[in-house]
Structure formats: C-alpha cells, structure tokens
Homo-oligomer: A and B are copies of this chain.
Amino acid sequence: MPETDDTPQPPARLRALASWQANKVSTLGARLFARRMKLSARADFAVLAALEECGPLSQADIGRRLGLDRNDVNGILNRLEEDRRVGRAPDPADRRRNVVTLTGDGRRYLDELQKHTDVVQDELLTALSAAERRQLEALLAKLLGAHRPEPA
C-alpha cells in the first residue's frame, strides 16, 4: 500500500506568492506556539525582549521598535504590569511619557518564553538546514529592511 498522501496541493497561483507563503508560515508559527503557551504570550515576549535589550523605554518607543501600534502596546503592558512583569512610572524628565522597566519576574518570564520560542522555531524550520535557515533569515531581513515597520 502506497500510504496515499491525502494532502491536496494549493493552487500554483498561491504557491508562488510570497505574501501567501509568509502568511502560512506566520500562522504555522502561531499554531506551534499556541500548543505550548497562551498565544498572547508572543506579544509579551516581543515587548519584554525590547526592554531587556534596550533598557527602560517609553510606551511609544516600544511601539516604534516593534512596529506595533501605541494602543496595542498599552494593552500588552496592562497584562504585564498586572502580573508584575514590568513597572510603569511617569518619566520625571517628560511627564507625558511612561518609563517602562523590566522587573525580576519579567526577566524570569522572558527566559521561559525564550525557551519555548526556541523550540517552536526549531519545529517550524525542521525542513531547513542551518545554511538554509541563515539564508531565509537574511532574505526576510532584506525584504523587511525596505519597508517602514509602521503603517502611518
């Protein structure tokens, strides 16, 4: 018995479409991640990673660094602050801003998320060799470099 592969192929028009492919890869990543953690933790990871790498940031700066909307950053920070993973305090130098800082809990949470993310990443890229992974990363980076991260 040939163990028939019952996975029908998508139309050629779509298979050749980078935006379609990227979308599939993206939702695949979300699916793999969701098997291990609450899906919304992806956004937490991004924000915490930015804080860890750049030090304290204002909410608007976080948004610019990550290509996220100010409003959405606010929501993520509400979650994180409630769980004591970030601190939020008005900037004495510019009282429009909030200075967001990483707490000890936040750092521990970030480490945990990093582990899961690494595993997911490896699952996602199973089919690719190390060289191919580097190629893919470089190509995507080059593609993204030509565009503004934010809409407006």
Contact = CB atoms under 8 A, between A and B. Distances in A.
A125 B66 contact: no
Interface in A24-79: 24-26, 28-31, 33, 46, 49-50, 52-54, 61, 64-67
Contacts of A33: 19
A19 B46 CA distance: 12
Interface stretch (A7-15, A86-94, A99-107): A7-15
Contacts of A53: 11-13
Interface residues of A, number: 62
**A12, A67, A133 pick with most chain B CB within 10 angstroms:** A67
Given A7-B148, A147-B28, A17 B127 contact: no
B146 A127 contact: yes
A84 to B, nearest CB: 22
A132 interface: yes
Contacts of A137: 16, 18, 21
A62 B35 CA distance: 26
A15 B121 CA distance: 13
A28 B144 contact: yes
Nearest to A63: B8
Given A31-B151, A135-B139, A144-B25, A20 B7 contact: no
Contacts of A135: 135, 139
13 contacts: A9-B65, A10-B149, A11-B46, A14-B49, A18-B133, A19-B25, A19-B120, A20-B46, A22-B25, A23-B26, A24-B144, A135-B135, A136-B143
